[in-house]
Structure 1
């Protein structure tokens, strides 16, 4: 359904990589840029007690709230029966103990609009490896608090809580762990707060809704750790279906003050026509792949986060295989600012972050062969947000404006400033030519044979014409810079020299930790 990162990248690099002589357009003036959002709160360099949610949950009420229906853990399926027997808007209080939902594969709770489920201290809902889902249906405005939900066996790409992506759910102060599939799905206006989403088979959350209508999603103060225990990328090569949280076509999301760590894949992955994301105040560390992966999406502010130790597993796998593609803490893949798509910003702005000992820093990539209606875009049937129908992106119309531009997801209008980048080989390891890089690059376009983007045109555009600018950052350690194609790497002087003029106003210091490669 969605284009896998690995398949696209490897397809792009089946063709020869040619060296470029590029001219980078002069940077746009400050008056051309929209005002920056303000008010971000910096993430701590270590998890605070408020971020370490797992095993530190706020307990639920010890007695039933007024008017609540009491659920008995000694009665198998009591929660299902109580939900069926009572009207919308009912509140259920689950006594301490382990609650079960019968022995059938589809034993599940089907909430009604406005229902609330709250757990006493020690209240657990256990699927026992028998039930697929805990909470289903498209009911609106459901609240789930103070519960541990474990042992459910949702299939790949499905979720245990809010399985049918109902709108307006509030999911807070829960521990959802040791399930298959995703801990939870998402709907519009959903709030996911103060949860422990731990050691689930695929995702902590799969923010997907049929029809791609999720808006106004809030994810804050959660600990999202250890997900993708089933290692789905190994089972389904190139599936693009793993990580801490995956977002699909979400229009408006705030992801703030979370601790996102040690996931077996990307920490946060926004894939295909997401828009208007604010990612701030998070501690994102030690994820096997990217800390933040923003793919074929639009308009992002990434500010005041700490990203540390990300992509080390992925980067070492690349290096061991002789693959020079720059695995990075932040990966922008065919994503950029677009003023014609309404959002709180009209660019990708990355500022105020600390990047410490990740495999590399930021990679800005655009696959020349990936565009709407191309066989290289395995997001089958999906077009950009600027073109209403896939069929419009075909010859001869695609060879001319506006479709020549609008049929592409472009890495453009990217402003990277006032960040701290630290790379210490003593921590990351000595991998010269592989680790410790920044990158702006594409591939030599070859496919399909009717593509108007063949040759070096996208390599030149991303490096020269698409307003991608690093400036006023602080660097420590031995950094190198990839420009245009994966086989072209330069030093600081080359990165800053004409015609590129990247990182003007930035500072560069040696690593004084004592390890040199």
Structure 2
């Protein structure tokens, strides 16, 4: 008997069973729990006080490589929309606990200042600040507004801003931040000149972004979610908690390459957990995907649209050995999928290729063609342009994953699906990919499911949206999911 407890009390405790143990917080659960990285000014730092409102001026007056320490309090940047801090190369900004840089946003969504940290300075560090209330325009960001290279953005809270909480440049490290409730994105990785290389996004909480609901404001803009990546060559995205975003969780859109997305928890996002679009060479491993795409999936089904909207969506994306990367394929392995609207969809739009009016990434071509203007008749009808002018969903291996779904999730059969499909090519009239060319090709481009574990009732969509087959036919007629288990048991071989 436990000392000090009565026999009756012990009996009650025993009847209740073991005390429940709270689930461990996901890696990246940092919002409201950030460490105090600079409680005091380090030696040699320029001390800035909130009451003086001189952060921008002190930055301008100081030489490159200066460290600024912001004491507790709320800092503002004047009444000009272009009131902002323009760091110099190597500058460091350290916030004491309670240091807030405020753009003075209002309830109607407007702010006094558009951006917090701007310019193209290199190797800037920002650590320990809260940045809120700025009003960046669409597709622009508040921190590192101009996508400077080599920035380290660490242990900050960047919240309640319009636009993107932060932009990214080459060699940028985004670590241990709370990126939440921003109007468009938590993070927007885009650079209009050289493109971004060597991006690290690690240990962040990326939550509740796209509060301005951009897809409703600008239908078809493709401009919403937790984090957006455009033409990024090399990104390590690991140990993040990406949840509750109004749109996709992570969206790599247009000629991204060499992404490593590992050990993240991605859950409760309105649209896809991971959307990899006209991009190359991906490792997607050991992540947990829960309850993603339910909002968007239900809305699509309510419209009578039978497209297999999924938690992981590869659109015209695959492995390409001619594009240098750490892998020459797309490897989706060791992930756990629980109660998402659907599992994985591999899609290739037959009408989307270089110089096609149906290419929504206008002005862009594949990474295999230097001049997109060559992707027209008659050249496009012959190799190598016939192959290289279109982004291919190819060389995708989906192995060793666990897919669980509750049969109560949907009653109309439009969820709990796996898919590998294309559309009937029809546009433009000079396209060499008209008819079933791509629908047939995607089934023979090295895309394979193998050794996965399924629980719940799943169906499979091969070739086009009109086909829906059972697990047995998926295996026998289409050669997929060999050595997989459809009963929740371990794979058979």
Q: Give the match's secondary structure for 2:51.
A: coil
The answer on whether the counterparts of 2:461 and 2:468 sit within 8 Å (CA) in structure 1 is: yes
Matched, 1:501 2:482: no
**Partner residue of 1:66?**
43
Distance 1:104 1:282 in 2: 40
Shift of 1:425: 2.5
Matched, 1:472 2:451: yes
Shift of 1:373: 0.5
**Partner residue of 1:429?**
410
Which of 401, 413, 419 does residue 439 from structure 1 map onto?
419
The answer on whether the counterparts of 2:421 and 2:464 sit within 8 Å (CA) in structure 1 is: yes
**Partner residue of 2:196?**
214
Unaligned runs of 5+ in 1: 1-44, 512-517
How many residues are paired up?
462
Q: Give the match's secondary structure for 2:100.
A: strand
Matched, 1:114 2:90: yes
**Partner residue of 2:377?**
395
Q: Over aligned residues, Cα RMSD in angstroms? A: 1.2
Q: 1:296 to 1:47 in 2, by over 3 A?
A: farther
Distance 2:470 2:50 in 1: 64
Which of 60, 73, 78 does residue 97 from structure 1 map onto?
73
The answer on whether the counterparts of 2:92 and 2:124 sit within 8 Å (CA) in structure 1 is: yes
TM-score (norm 1): 0.88
The answer on whether the counterparts of 2:231 and 2:255 sit within 8 Å (CA) in structure 1 is: yes
**Partner residue of 2:173?**
191
Distance 1:149 1:458 in 2: 47
Distance 1:469 1:61 in 2: 50
Residue-by-residue CA offset, 1:367-422 (whole Å, 9 max, x unaligned): 00000000000211111000001111010000010000000000000000000000
**Partner residue of 1:5?**
none
Q: Give the match's secondary structure for 1:509.
A: coil
The answer on whether the counterparts of 1:180 and 1:201 sit within 8 Å (CA) in structure 2 is: yes
TM-score (norm 2): 0.92
**Partner residue of 2:213?**
231
**Partner residue of 1:273?**
255
Which of 431, 453, 459 does residue 451 from structure 1 map onto?
431
1 or 2 for the larger relative contact order (CA 8 Å, sep ≥6)? Answer: 1
**Partner residue of 1:370?**
352
Matched, 1:318 2:304: no
Matched, 1:487 2:466: yes
Shift of 1:211: 2.0
Q: Give the match's secondary structure for 2:50.
A: coil
Shift of 1:61: 2.1
Greater Cα radius of gyration, structure 1 or 2: 2
Unaligned runs of 5+ in 2: 1-21, 105-110
Q: Give the match's secondary structure for 2:47.
A: strand
Shift of 1:209: 0.5
Distance 2:24 2:233 in 1: 29
Shift of 1:51: 2.4
Shift of 1:213: 1.6
